[in-house]
């Protein structure tokens, strides 16, 4: 191991840089990797074993090869060799990142899935996970330990990837943002060094990690503060569907949570068009991290609006998240999307975007299915962390709007993107925010760094980027300088 590291140093010091055409990726990286590391060029038959299709086939990176390393030292050497040879790369885990900047990437996929360790230290209330851990990997162990961390809703999404943008989910109201429970990361930086970033070690880097993390290196592992699990790990799910014609009353009900929502409660308001019935429809789902009696009055208010279907269940957290992964873990479909943060609900605007979405579905009867979801997560706890603590700026978002286009014909890619942007513009006009508040992990990609990290934070972020990653090796999916 020592010999290999020294070898890299000698090779780099001597300016030993192979022109890309003369060196296979195996020749270039292989000698400096631990024995279990797998390497393949995209032209080789075994490449597909290292890189599976991403969640979406929309705007995907053009991989020239893949490396699946085993150790932190491998990650360090990959960064050093790639930099010396001007080879670009992207480290990937869950493969759920999407947006137009991904389509501009060409280079090597660094498959992080070997870094799959999950360690719970109950005595110190800490969770330590590796870069390859998916959200679904921590749910059962945490449940068994009676502990909790904030995390996203979908099992197959990368836990660190989601956290580096902020980390939101149905538990946000009760457990806070992922970044607010993050204690430290071990980060492979552009120099190939392995540094610890925390509130006390490189605190400014840690500020930038918490919201723009993918721009500063490869997080090899992350340590989270554990909280006690609430309500014995049980969650109430109340699910209602309504005919689209009930839009006004359902949207008014959703709006009634603008001023107050209990921290234990979150809402998902889905608008879509059913091909089966040829009608517009609305789905309103409640998740409550508490006893049924606490949420019953809220459920009754939905039931009073005359749902087409209704169901109430009390689920353990593992059972709940297992039910939520349905469909969202399917990979390899053409799906584009967009997002916006809202500070208030405007019922006429929701009606207008619903009408626009339904009209687009009707106009494209065989090639398109689109849906939007409005996620209402309580932000009282989120607002308790001062805004200067993290580069993630949008603690004032009450609703995360997430739009998804499932388009079966390539000809619909541009019209569907235009639909997304048109709906987004309507929502922005009544969002309650003068400038767009965009959650970077849901971004379409054209919003730009000020919308992802705020105009106020950009100068400091740009300085830190120039300091830690001057050659812009990292963060190509949502670059500090835009794409
Ligand atoms: C179906 C679906 C559901 C989602 N649900 C939620 C949700 O509930 N809450 C939420 O907050 N987000 C959610 N997201 C968004 C998700 O947080 C982002 O897409 C996230 O970037 C995905 O990480 P990944 O590892 O799965 O994806 P990848 O495509 O593998 O990686 C995405 C980005 O993160 C970077 N990255 C990943 N791991 C590391 C690492 N260890 N170090 C440095 N950079 C890294 C990659 O380089 C890339 O830039 C969802 C996305 C989808 C598609
Ligand atoms: C893929 O095939 C190439 C060429 O045969 C070989 O050099 C490389 O080690 C293989 N990689 C893996 C991961 O099997
Ligand atoms: C990483 O490799 C494993 C198998 O080797 C594969 O299952 C996984 O999907 C790969 N990850 C990505 C993001 O392609
Ligand atoms: C992907 O990159 C290769 C090598 O640079 C190039 O030949 C190919 O045309 C690219 N493919 C796409 C779809 O851009
Ligand atoms: C590095 O690669 C990029 C794109 O692949 C290219 O534009 C640039 O000229 C290269 N730089 C050097 C020094 O070779
Ligand atoms: C919204 O409700 C009104 C009144 O019932 C109805 O006319 C309209 O079609 C509904 N919108 C959608 C998209 O279903
Ligand atoms: C809920 O659904 C059941 C059937 O599953 C039905 O009997 C009941 O009336 C419904 N309740 C409401 C409030 O719609
Ligand atoms: C999409 O919007 C752009 C910019 O407004 C426009 O130039 C283009 O024609 C639109 N495309 C479609 C298919 O509507």
What's the CA gap between 113 and 58, in Å, rounded?
A: 22
What's the CA gap between 36 and 56, in Å, rounded?
A: 29
To 5 degrees, how large is the angle CA 385–CA 165–CA 452? 90
Q: Is residue 482 part of a domain?
A: no
The alpha carbon dihedral of 92, 95, 99, 105 has a sign of: positive
Which distant-in-sequence residues (6+ apart) come within 8 Å of 20 by Cβ? 85, 86, 87
User: Residue 211's closest CA among 424, 398, 385, 427?
Assistant: 385
Total structural domains in the chain?
Answer: 3
Q: What is the pLDDT along the chain (483 residues), one digit of tens a residue?
A: 233 333 343 344 334 454 454 569 999 999 999 999 999 999 999 999 999 999 999 999 999 999 999 999 999 999 999 999 999 999 999 999 999 999 999 999 999 999 999 999 999 999 999 999 999 999 999 999 999 999 999 999 999 999 999 999 999 999 999 999 999 999 999 999 999 999 999 999 999 999 999 999 999 999 999 999 999 999 999 999 999 999 999 999 999 999 999 999 999 999 999 999 999 999 999 999 999 999 999 999 999 999 999 999 999 999 999 998 877 888 999 999 999 999 999 999 999 999 999 999 999 999 999 999 999 999 999 999 999 999 999 999 999 999 999 999 999 999 999 999 999 999 999 999 999 999 999 999 999 999 999 999 999 999 999 999 999 999 999 999 988
Ramachandran sector of residue 105 (left: φ over 0; alpha: ψ -120 to 50; beta: rest): beta
Q: Is residue 107 part of a domain?
A: yes
356 and 402: one domain?
yes
Ligand nearest to the CA of 311: 7
CA-proximal residue: ligand 7, atom 13 (nearest): 303
What's the CA gap between 285 and 374, in Å, rounded?
A: 10
The alpha carbon dihedral of 174, 176, 178, 183 has a sign of: negative
Indicate which atom in ligand 2 lies nearest the CA of residue 26.
Answer: 7
CB 129 within 8 A of CB 151: no
Which distant-in-sequence residues (6+ apart) come within 8 Å of 459 by Cβ? none
The finding on whether 51 has its CB within 6 A of some atom of ligand 3 is yes
93 and 142: one domain?
no
CB 274 within 8 A of CB 369: no
pLDDT at residue 16, as a whole number: 43
Predicted model pTM: 0.95
pLDDT at residue 2, as a whole number: 30
In what helix (H) or strand (E) does residue 174 lie, and over which residues does it extend? helix 172-175
Indicate which atom in ligand 3 lies nearest the CA of residue 92.
Answer: 13
Residue 198: which CATH number? Answer: 3.30.465.10
Indicate which atom in ligand 1 lies nearest the CA of residue 214.
Answer: 44
The finding on whether 303 has its CB within 6 A of some atom of ligand 7 is yes
403: β partners: 338, 372
What's the CA gap between 99 and 94, in Å, rounded?
A: 15
The finding on whether 308 has its CB within 6 A of some atom of ligand 7 is no
Which of 84, 111, 138 is the last residue in one of the domains? 111
138 and 45: one domain?
no
Q: Is residue 399 part of a domain?
A: yes
Distance from residue 202's CA to the centre of ligand 7 (Å): 56
CA-proximal residue: ligand 3, atom 14 (nearest): 51
Distance from residue 94's CA to the centre of ligand 1 (Å): 6
Domain ranges, residue 93: 2-111
Q: Is residue 473 part of a domain?
A: no
CA-proximal residue: ligand 7, atom 9 (nearest): 310
The residue written with tokens 């975007």 in the block is 353
Residues with CB under 6 A from ligand 4: 62, 64, 106
CB 212 within 8 A of CB 205: no
Q: Any idea how long the chain is?
A: 483
Mutate to test the pocket of ligand 3, among 51, 92, 107 (most ligand atoms within 8 A of CB): 51
Mutate to test the pocket of ligand 6, among 241, 246, 247 (most ligand atoms within 8 A of CB): 247
To 5 degrees, how large is the angle CA 401–CA 329–CA 208? 55
10 and 132: one domain?
no
């Amino acid at each position: 191991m020592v010999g290999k590291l020294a070898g890299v140093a000698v090779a780099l010091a001597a300016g030993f840089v192979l022109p890309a055409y003369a060196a296979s990726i195996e020749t270039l990286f292989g000698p400096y990797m631990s024995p279990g590391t797998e390497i393949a060029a995209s032209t080789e038959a075994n490449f597909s074993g290292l890189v599976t299709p991403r969640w979406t086939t929309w705007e995907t990176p053009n991989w020239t090869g893949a490396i699946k390393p085993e150790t932190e030292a491998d990650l360090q050497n990959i960064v050093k060799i790639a930099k010396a040879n001007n080879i670009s790369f992207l480290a990937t885990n869950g493969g759920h990142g999407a947006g137009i900047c991904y389509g501009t990437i060409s280079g090597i996929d660094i498959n992080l899935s070997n870094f799959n360790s999950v360690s719970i230290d109950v005595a110190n209330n800490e969770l330590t996970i590796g870069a390859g851990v998916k959200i679904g990997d921590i749910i059962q162990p945490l449940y068994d330990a009676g502990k909790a961390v904030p995390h996203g809703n979908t099992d197959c999404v990368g836990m660190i990837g989601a956290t580096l943008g902020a980390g939101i989910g149905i538990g946000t109201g009760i457990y806070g943002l992922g970044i607010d429970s993050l204690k430290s990361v071990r980060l492979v930086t552009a120099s190939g060094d392995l540094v610890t970033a925390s509130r006390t070690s490189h605190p400014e880097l840690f500020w930038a990690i918490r919201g723009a993390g993918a721009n500063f290196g490869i997080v090899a592992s992350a340590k989270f503060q554990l909280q006690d699990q609430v309500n014995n790990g049980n969650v109430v799910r109340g699910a209602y569907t309504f005919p689209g014609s009930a839009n006004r009353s359902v949207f008014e009900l959703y709006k009634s949570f603008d001023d107050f929502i209990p921290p234990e409660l979150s809402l998902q308001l889905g608008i879509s068009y059913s091909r089966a019935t040829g009608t517009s429809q609305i789905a309103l789902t409640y998740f409550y991290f508490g006893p049924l009696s606490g949420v019953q009055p809220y459920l009754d208010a939905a039931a009073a609006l005359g749902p087409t279907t209704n169901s109430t269940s009390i689920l353990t957290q593992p059972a709940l998240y297992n039910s939520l992964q349905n469909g969202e873990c399917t990979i390899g479909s053409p799906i584009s999307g967009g997002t916006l943060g809202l500070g208030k609900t405007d019922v006429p605007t929701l009606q207008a975007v619903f009408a626009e979405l339904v009209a687009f579905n009707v106009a494209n009867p065989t090639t398109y299915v689109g849906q939007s979801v409005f996620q209402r997560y309580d932000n009282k706890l989120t607002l308790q962390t001062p805004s200067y603590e993290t580069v993630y700026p949008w603690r004032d978002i009450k609703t995360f709007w997430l739009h998804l286009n499932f388009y079966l014909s390539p000809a619909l890619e541009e019209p569907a993107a235009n639909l997304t942007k048109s709906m987004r513009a309507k929502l922005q006009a009544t969002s309650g925010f003068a400038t767009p508040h965009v959650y970077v992990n849901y971004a379409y990609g054209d919003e730009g760094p000020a919308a992802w990290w705020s105009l106020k934070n950009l100068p400091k972020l740009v300085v830190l980027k120039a300091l830690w990653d001057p050659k812009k090796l990292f963060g190509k999916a949502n670059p500090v300088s835009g794409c």
